[in-house]
Amino acid sequence: MSVTKEFATVPAGKSEGLGHDAGNPEQTARTGSTAESDPVMSDLERQMNDYRLTTAEILYHLPDHPDLLQTFIWQTLDIAPRYPVLRKFLDYWQNNIEGRLHSVRIGQRGVIAPAEFRIADTQLVLH
């Protein structure tokens, strides 16, 4: 199993490219809903709606020692390339956590690939 398929690095303050896109009509048409409009969507439903396992390596400055960097690893299901869930988390971080962001490195992989999932035509029952 491959760990990641693609990486992106986002310097602090430059995360606009990860823009929050909950109201995107194209995304809503493709997936039928968004994470914000359907918070109880199961993980399987999210994976079938193009959500991918996303891992973010967040480097941030320690509040007491600004010259030192600390690493924080965060993982969730999210939609590439906009990453609305990650963007919401980073917005929360910038507004509520003292550690100033240095950079974010993103790796993602689809959990369910087309060749791994298919509808069964028949069901056999054994006693």
Over the stretch 100-114, which tens digit does the pLDDT of each residue have? 999 999 998 877 666
Count of domains observed in the chain: 1
CA distance 41 to 99: 32
Instruction: Name the residue range of residue 47's domain.
Output: 6-33+40-112
Q: Does 45 map to a domain?
A: yes
Q: Does 19 map to a domain?
A: yes
Q: Does 20 map to a domain?
A: yes
Neighbours of 85 (CB within 10 A): 22
Query: Per-residue pLDDT for 64 more than 90?
Result: yes
Q: Does 50 map to a domain?
A: yes
pLDDT on residue 33: 45
CA distance 26 to 4: 26
Q: Does 92 map to a domain?
A: yes
- Please state the pTM of the whole predicted model: 0.58
